[in-house]
Amino acid sequence: MKQILQQMWDTAASLNKRNILSLMSKNVNARILDLGCDNGDWTISLANKLGTRHIAGIEIVDDAIRESLDKGIDCQKSDLCDDFPFKENSFDVVHANQVIEHVSNIDHFIKEIYRVLKPNGYVIISTENGSSWCNIFATIMGWQMFSLTNISSKSSGIGNPFALHRHRKGPIPTWTHKTIFNYNGLKELFGVFKFNNISIKGAGYFPLPSCFGQVDVRHSHFITLKGYKTI
């Protein structure tokens, strides 16, 4: 069962990445900032879609930072709850995939995104959806929703018998999930911070094929938001 669930999750995550790329417009002069850029592999894919070589990232893991630097990314070590180590109005695109759910100070996180974006620049944020059918089912059963089993550094998969990483050693504290959004919550929150022209795409629709999430976005497993900084 867990192998099937893992395959479904992988397929949905792959479609979600395609959604992210589809929201990016080619711009060879664009400056992009990837929040939580890990080893830089996905960051390079984003830059290739834009056609740009102006690539920056923020990461907290030393080994990942070194790998990103080796790939030509201006990767800075920082906690995403702190001020970003870049000047205001520096970037045309800010991106974060599966990151916002790990951030403990979300207000500051979004405020910093707005600060470093240029006017008419845009943000792309992707995260898991608390209203996905698998999360709804888990909640009805009295289980921890799938997207909120990763809450302790002591053990993973807490509270859900079908969690993918159940009973494994927990993640480092900065990788635990703090906040899980729903469609309306994510959209309204970015509106509060003055982002405009907001659109959302979906991917994943467990147990049905992932493509159904592109039709019924509100119940897809992954939701990806794009919003513009307009003055």
Q: What is the pLDDT of residues 86-128, one digit of tens each?
A: 999 999 999 999 999 999 999 999 999 999 999 999 999 999 9
- pTM, to two decimals: 0.95
Q: Is 128 in contact with 98 (CB distance < 8 Å)?
A: yes
Q: Comparing 228 with 3, which gets the higher pLDDT?
A: 228
Highest mean pLDDT among 162-166, 193-197, 209-213: 193-197
Position 129 pLDDT exceeds 90: yes
CA atoms of 103 and 68, how far apart (whole Å): 21
Q: Which residues pair with 95 in a beta bridge?
A: 34, 124
Position 2 pLDDT exceeds 80: no
Residue 130, token pair as written in the block: 């608390």
Q: What pLDDT is attached to residue 170?
A: 78
Position 39 pLDDT exceeds 80: yes
- Topology given in CATH for the domain delimited by 2-229: Rossmann fold (3.40.50)
Q: Comparing 110 with 4, which gets the higher pLDDT?
A: 110
Position 36 pLDDT exceeds 90: yes
Q: Where are the domains of the chain?
A: 2-229
Question: Using 50, 70 and 90 to split pLDDT, how confident is the model at 1?
Answer: low
